[in-house]
A and B are shown apart, each in its own frame.
Chain A
Amino acid sequence: MRHTISVLVENKFGVLSRISGLFSGRGYNIESLSVGETIDPQISTMTIVTTGDDWVIEQITKQLNKLIDVIKVVDMKELEHVEREMVLVKVAPRQQDKAEVLNLAEIFRGRIVDSSQKTYTIEITGDEKKIEAFIELMKPMGIKEFVRTGKVAIAREGMKKKG
C-alpha cells in the first residue's frame, strides 16, 4: 500500500541524510520526497511517499519518530487531507498533434511555461491521478521528458481523524 507521510523536522544540518539514511539502511522504499520550510523557519516539513504493508508502515512511522530531530510524524492515511504534486512535461508533438496538446493542457488546467519550434513545456498541478492521467495522454504525443516535484500534503481543517 502506498502511504503519504508528513514529517515535521528540526531545520538542521544533516537532517535530510538522517531520514534518507533511515530508509536506505532499513530497506524501505521512497517513491518521492519533498522538503520545505514551514511558517516557523526552524522547522521543515518533509513529505514522503512510501510503500509497504501495515507492519512496514508502522515501523517506518515509529523509526521516524525515534529520530532525535523529528518533531512529529503523520501518516496522511489517517486524516482527511489534500495532496498535490507538480509536473513539468516537455512534449515534442507532430504538427498535426499540436492543437490537441494545447487542448489537453487547457482541459487539465495546465500552463505552457516554455515553447520552442518543436516543443512545449507544460506545467500541471494536481493529485496523483490527475498527473498520471495527463502523462498517459501525452505519451502518444511524444513526451521528451518530464520532472515531478514529489507530493506535498496538508490536512483539511476541522476534519476528524478517519476511522
Chain B
Amino acid sequence: MKITGAEIIIESLKREGVRHLFGYPGGVVLNIFDLLYDNKDIQLILTRHEQGAIHAADGYARATGKAGVALVTSGPGATNTVTGIATASMDSIPLVVLSGQVPTMLIGNDAFQEADIVGITRPCTKYNFLVKDVKDLSRTIKEAFHIATTGRPGPVLIDLPKDVTSNKTEFVWPETDIRSYKPTYEGNKWMITNAAHQIAKAKKPVIIAGGGVIISGASKELRELAEHAEIPVTMTLMGLGGFPGTHDLSLGMLGMHGTYYANMAVQDSDLLIAIGMRFDDRVTGKIEAFAPHAKIVHIDIDPTSIRKNVRVDVPIVGDVKRVLTVLNKVLKEEVKEQWGEVRKAWLKQISAWKAERPMSYTWSDEEIKPQFVVEKIHELTKGDAIITTEVGQNQMWAAQFFKYDKPRTFLSSGGLGTMGYGFPAAIGAQLAFPNKLVIDIAGDGSIQMNIQELATAVIYKLPVKVAILSNRYLGMVRQWQELFYNERYSYSHLDVIPDFVEVAQAYRAVGLRATKPSEVEPVLREAFKIQKPVFMEFVVNWKEKVYPMVPAGAPIDHMLFEEPEKKEKKLKAVK
C-alpha cells in the first residue's frame, strides 16, 4: 500500500522510538502536523519560539542520551533553529531536526519563506539532507538517526519540501550501511598497553575527563581506573558529572575558571590522561605553557580531536567505555600495581593544594552572594537534581559550587556559550524526567533570551525551577570590563529588568524573591515543594566576580583570586 511522505515520517519516527517532538508549525509542514493532531504515540511540544524548541530537544538529548527531535517550518522557522543547532554541534549532542521546505519545483526561486537551510547549516551540522524524492524518505530518516547518535554524536538536519510530504510511495524500512561512515570504537591494543605502562611509571598522573565520558556512558569504567591506579581526576565543564564531584580523587573543573588545585596539578603533572575531551582554549590557557612536564595520553573517538591543539604521546582513537575497559584489564592483569608509594607523595601534594586554596567566597550577612545560592541548592537537593545553566557568571558558579555526582545532571552550553539555552533545555529535561527536580541556574540577562518558554512550561505542566542570580548586569561581561577595561562598563548594565515575580505570575506560574541571605533557604524550600514552574529571583551582590580566573591567553597556573583584604573579612565572618 502506498502512503504519503508525511505518513512515512511519522512511521519512521515511531520506529526510531521517538515519543516527543519539539516544534512549531507553518505552511509547508502542515501535512505532518495534521497527522500529529490525533497521533497517540508521538506528542509534539509546542514551544513559543523555534529556538526554544531546538534547545528543549537538546536538553532532552543531554538528559537521556537519546536523539532530541525538532520539527519546524521553512524559512524563518528553520533559521530560528540555527543557534540551537550550532550549540548542539559544538557540544556533540545528537539532534534530528526536521525542517519544512518549499515544494521541490520552487526551490531556488526565492519562493515565499524559502531559505537554503541545508546551505546555512552545513558547517554546524554533522550532516544534513535535502530529500527530493519521497522514495528516499525512510532511508534518509534512518540514516539521520544513525549519524546523529553514533561515533561522535551531533545534529543532523533533514529538509523536507512540501510535495515530498504529500507524494506517495510504499513504506520500506531499510538497513543502513553508509560505506563512507564507519566510526572507530575499539582502541588499538598496542597503544592501550603503552598507555598502561605510562600510567604505571608516572609519578604525578592526572586524568582530565571530558564530555566524551558522559556521551560514552563510561563513568563506571573511569571510576574504576581512577580508584585502581589512584589518579586524581579533573573535569572539563562538559565532563562535570562524569566522575563524582564529591569523590576524594575529584579536583573539580580545570581551566579558565577551574579550581586552584586542578590547574596546579595539571601544570605539575608528568602524565595527563585525557579522556573524551578536546583541549579547548578555555581548558589549556596559553598552549605553549600548558602542562610543560607531562606526557599526554589522549583517548577520543574523533581523530580530529587528537593532536589538534596539543602534542600527544599516546593517541588512542576509540570509544571511551571500550578503551577504558581494556585499559583497566591490562592494568590489573598485565601491568600490575607498581605505584603504591609514589602515588602517596603526589596525593599528599594535591591535598596541600586543596588546603591552600579551597573553593571559597566572601560571606556577607547583608547581601546574597550568588555562590551561596548555588551551594544551598546543592545542600537542599543533596545533589539529586538536574541542573541546567545559562551562560556567564551563573554558569561558572553552577559549575564550581554544585558537586555533580552523576552523569547527565549538568546541562550547559559549553562550546558555543549560548545565552538562552538553560531554560528551554530544562523544559526538555523535565519532559524526559517528570519526577526529577530540574533547576535552571540563570542570569537576569540570559533568562530574558528565551523567557517566552515559560508558557510552554506552564501549559505542559513541566515544573521546572529557575534560580535567577539577579545582578542587573551582564555579569560576566561586566567582570571583564572591571578587570581588563578600567571599569568602563560599556553597555553591560541592564538598567531595567522586569519584575520576574510578576512575569511568572502573568504566565500563571509562581514567582518568588529573596533579597537577604536569610531568605535564600526558605525561598528554595518553598519552590521545591511547588508542583508548578517557579521563577526565583535572588537579588545578589552585583560586584561579585568568578574566581579563580585565568586571564585569556595566560598559562592556567597564572590565576587571579579574590583580593586579599576581602579574604581576611571572610575569615572573621565564617565560623
Contacts and interface: CB of A to CB of B under 8 A. Distances in A.
A21 B304 contact: no
Contact of A68 (B118, B130, B181): B181
22 contacts: A9-B180, A10-B180, A14-B118, A14-B122, A18-B122, A21-B122, A21-B123, A58-B307, A59-B307, A59-B308, A62-B303, A63-B304, A65-B303, A66-B302, A66-B303, A66-B304, A68-B126, A68-B147, A68-B180, A68-B181, A69-B180, A71-B180
Contacts of A21: 122-123
Contacts of A9: 180
A157 to B, nearest CB: 24
Interface string A115-134: 00000000000000000000
Given A14-B118, A59-B308, A68-B147, 4 more contacts: A17-B122, A21-B123, A70-B180, A71-B179
Contact of A55 (B130, B302, B307): B307
A25 B304 CA distance: 15
Nearest to A10: B180
Contacts of B122: 14, 17-18, 21
Interface of B: 118-119, 122-123, 126-127, 130, 147, 178-181, 302-304, 307-308
A25 B122 CA distance: 11
A13 B116 CA distance: 14
B247 to A, nearest CB: 34
Contact of B130 (A13, A17, A25): A13
Given A21-B123, A58-B307, A68 B178 contact: yes
Interface residues of A, number: 19
A62 B404 CA distance: 34
Given A14-B122, A59-B308, A68 B302 contact: no
Contacts of A62: 303-304
Classify the interface of chain A: helix, strand, loop or mixed.
helix
Nearest to B307: A58
List 10 tightest A-B contacts by C-beta distance, closest first.
Answer: A71-B180, A62-B304, A68-B127, A62-B303, A68-B181, A25-B123, A63-B304, A66-B304, A21-B122, A21-B123
A58 B303 CA distance: 10
Contacts of A18: 122
A154 B127 CA distance: 29
Nearest to A60: B304
A152 to B, nearest CB: 21
Contacts of A10: 180
Nearest to B302: A66
A9 B178 CA distance: 12
Nearest to A63: B304
Contacts of B308: 59
Candidate in B147, B304, B307 with the most chain A CB atoms within 10 angstroms:
B304
A17 B303 contact: no
Nearest to A70: B180
Nearest to B129: A14
Nearest to B128: A14
A124 B123 CA distance: 38
Interface in A97-141: none
Contacts of A55: 307
A58 B309 CA distance: 12
A7 B8 CA distance: 35
Given A62-B303, A65-B303, A71-B180, A17 B119 contact: yes
A56 to B, nearest CB: 11
A21 B147 CA distance: 20
Interface in A67-85: 68-71
B448 to A, nearest CB: 31
Contacts of B180: 9-10, 68-71
Interface in A4-23: 9-10, 13-14, 17-18, 21
A59 B123 contact: no
Contacts of B179: 71
Contacts of A25: 123
Nearest to A64: B304
B441 to A, nearest CB: 33
Contacts of A71: 179-180
A18 B304 CA distance: 17
Candidate in B123, B130, B147, B179 with the most chain A CB atoms within 10 angstroms:
B123
Interface string A20-47: 0100010000000000000000000000
B195 to A, nearest CB: 20
B444 to A, nearest CB: 34
A68 B127 CA distance: 7
Contacts of A13: 130
Nearest to B181: A68
A155 to B, nearest CB: 20
A70 B307 CA distance: 21
